[in-house]
Amino acid sequence: MKQSTCIVLAALNMLIAVGAGAFGAHGLKAILSIDMLAIWQTAVHYQMVHALGLFGMGILMSQWTDATLLGRAAVTMLVGIIVFSGSLYALALSGILWLGAITPIGGVAFLVAWGMLAWCAYRRQSSSSH
């Protein structure tokens, strides 16, 4: 993923998370059960946190000469946002419980993306100290 694409997608995800949070607090409060509203808010929280991570990756891409793995980490983070938060939004709105079984796939994508970022930083640190 290119730096500009990464930052645009991060900003769009933050925009969606803010809108979804407001929609949950004002539009869905009277419609959803307390449990489903909590699921909605979890989706919002994780979308925002990981969109900020995606934004940080975009910034790092401009500073690191070899950002190939970092770009792959950004794609993995985006997949995590779509699968994790997307499945929770769908679950909260539909009440279809099996959608919750998809959510951990997104969580694993988050873990992999953060691990890739850590590996990129470690490799960068190791190569600059030699």
pLDDT at res. 67: 87
Please list the pLDDT of the chain residue by residue as tens digits (130 residues). Answer: 999 999 999 999 999 999 999 999 999 999 999 999 999 999 999 999 999 999 999 999 999 877 899 999 999 999 999 999 999 999 999 999 999 999 999 999 999 999 999 999 998 887 766 5
pLDDT at res. 18: 99
Quote the domain boundaries for residue 15: 3-128
Q: What is the number of structural domains in the chain?
A: 1
pLDDT at res. 66: 77
CA atoms in the 13 A half-sphere facing the CB of 33: 6
The answer to whether 50 and 17 are in contact (CB under 8 A) is no
Q: Scanning the structure block, which residue is given the tokens 């607090």? A: 25
Token output for 5: 């694409």
Q: What is the pTM of this model?
A: 0.93
